[in-house]
Amino acid sequence: MSVLHAVQTEEICGLGTPPSSADGPLSRSLTFTQETGGLNILLTIDVEDSLIEEIRSVSADITVIEPENQDRIRDVIGEVDIVFGVIDPHMLEHAPRLRWIQCSAAGVDGTLSPQLAASEVILTSAKGYVGVHLAEHAMALLLALTRGIGHAVRSADWDEKWPIRNASWELLGRTMGIVGLGGTGRDLAVRASAFGMHLLAIDPEPVETPECIESCWSIDRFGDLLEQSDVVAVCAPLTPETDGMFDRDAFRRMRPHALLINVTRGRIVNEDALLEALREGWIGGAGLDVTPVEPLPSDHLLWQMDNVVITPHTAGASPERDRRTTELFCQNLKRFLANQPLLAVIDKEKGY
C-alpha cells in the first residue's frame, strides 16, 4: 500500500501502478474524475481490500483514496466529493466539492460538528446496521448481573456459590423498558422477547414497533417506563435532549431491584446520580459498556461495586461490522449516483 493509495483500474487511470506520494497529490487520477464527472471518495477508516473492491465495483467513474495520515487528507480534501468515515471539522472549509459523509458508526455525536451541521453536506450513519452486536452485548451484561457471573468472576471463590444462587433471578416474566427504539432497541427487543420478557419502549419519533413490544410511548412517558420496568436498557443516541437524561429524579422512579443497561452513550447517564442510586439502593445494579467519562479511571468507584458489570466500550465490535457498513455505503453510493434518497440520513437538527 502506498502512502496515498488511489484505488483505481488501469483502464480508468491509465496507470499500471497506483501513484506514490512522489507523484504529487494524485493529480492525474483526481483530474480525470473531475473532468469526466466522476467521484473522488476519501476513505478514512480501515477497510479490507476485498471490501474496497466492492466499493470500486459500484461504478467505473469513482476513485477511492486511502490517506495514511492527516497531512495527506489535507493534500486531497479539496478534490473529494464523498467521505466514508470521518474528517476533522476544520477540513470542511477546504472541501468545496464535498457533498456527502457516510459515517461508519450509528451515533454521530462525535461527528456532527457545528461546521457540518451548518453546511449542506449530507450526513448518513450506520444507524440500523449495528444493532445486532449492541443488542447481544446488552443481553450479555444483563445476564452477567442476573446470574451472578460478574460476582463470580470478581470473587474467584467457590464459597460464593450460595450468595450468588440466592441473588440470581430469571428474565422470564420480567419487564424490560427500552429507551430509544432505533435499530439497537428493536434488535434488543427481539432477543429479550426470546427470554420471555415483557417489553415497553419510548421514542421521540413515531417508529416501527416490533410485535413483541407491548407498548411504545412518546418520550413524555419516560417516568412511566421507569416505574414499570425491572430492566431499563439505554439504546438511544446522545443528543441535547438525552444528555444527562438519567438523573437523580429518574433513578428515584426506578424499582429498587431494577437493573440499568447502557450500550450506547455514557453521557446519557449522569455519573453522580448513578453512583448515588447504586450506593443508596435506589436501583439493583448496572451493566455498562459506556460511561460518562472514557476511559474510566482504574480507581473509579464503579469498578469496585459488586452490583456493576463494566466492559470498556466494546459492544460495537463485530467481525461482521465492516462488511455491513460497507454494504450500506455501497447501497447509498448507488442511490447517490442515481439521484435517489439515501438510507440512514441524519437529521442534523435532531442529531439522529
213-221: Cβ within 8 A, 24+ apart: 213/178, 213/181, 213/189, 216/181
Q: 3-state DSSP call for residue 193?
A: helix
Please give the positions annotated as active site. 265, 294, 313
Rounded CA-CA distance 25/329 in Å is: 25
The amino acid present at 25, given as its one-letter code, is P
For 246-311, the three-class secondary structure string (H helix, E strand, C coil) is ECHHHHHHCCCCCEEEECCCHHHECHHHHHHHHHHCCCCEEEECCCCCCCCCCCCHHHHCCCEEEC
| Angle of helix 131-146 versus helix 183-194 axis, rounded to 10 | 40
Rounded CA-CA distance 89/339 in Å is: 26
Rounded CA-CA distance 264/179 in Å is: 11
Q: Which residues pair with 262 in a beta bridge?
A: 234, 288
Return the residue matching grid coordinates 439522529: 352
Residues 295 and 93: beta-carbon distance below 8 Å: no
Buried b (16+ CB within 10 A) or exposed e, 229-243: bbbbbbbbbbbeebe
Reading the block at residue 311, the C-alpha cell is 466492559
